[in-house]
Structure 1
Amino acid sequence: MNELKLLREWDADAPPLTDAARARARFRLHQAMREPAAPTTIGRRPLLRVAVAAVAAATVTATVVVAQNAGSSPRTQPVSAATVLRGAAAEERRLEKPIAPRDDQFIYTKEIIKETPVGGGPTKTYVDESWNSVDGSKKSYVSELGYTQWVPVFQPGQTTVPPSKWSELKQLPTDPAKLPIALRDLFGRADYDRPMKADDWPMVQSHLSGLLRKAVLPKGLRSAAYEALATVPGIKLLPGRTDADGRPGLGIQYVGPPGTPWADGGAVLVFDAKTYQYLGMRDQRRAGGTTYEQWSTLAANAVVDRVMQRP
Structure 2
Amino acid sequence: MNVTQLEQIRSGRGLFAALDQSGGSTPKALADYGIPESRYDSQAEMFDLVHEMRSRVITSPAFDGTRVLGTILFEQTMERDIGGVPTGRYLWAEKRVVPFLKVDKGLADERHGVSLMKPIDTLDDLLELANRNHMFGTKMRSVINDADKGGVSAIVDQQFEYAARIARAGLVPILEPEVSIHSPHKDEAEALLYNALLAGLEALPDDAAIILKLTIPTLTGRYTDLAADPRVLRVLALSGGYSRDEACDLLAKEPGMIASFARALLEGLAAEQTNEQFNARLNASLAQVYAASVHKSPA
Bigger fraction of residues in helix: 2
Higher relative contact order (CA 8 A, sep 6+): 1
Compare CA radii of gyration and give the structure with the larger one: 1
TM-score by length of 1: 0.30
TM-score by length of 2: 0.31
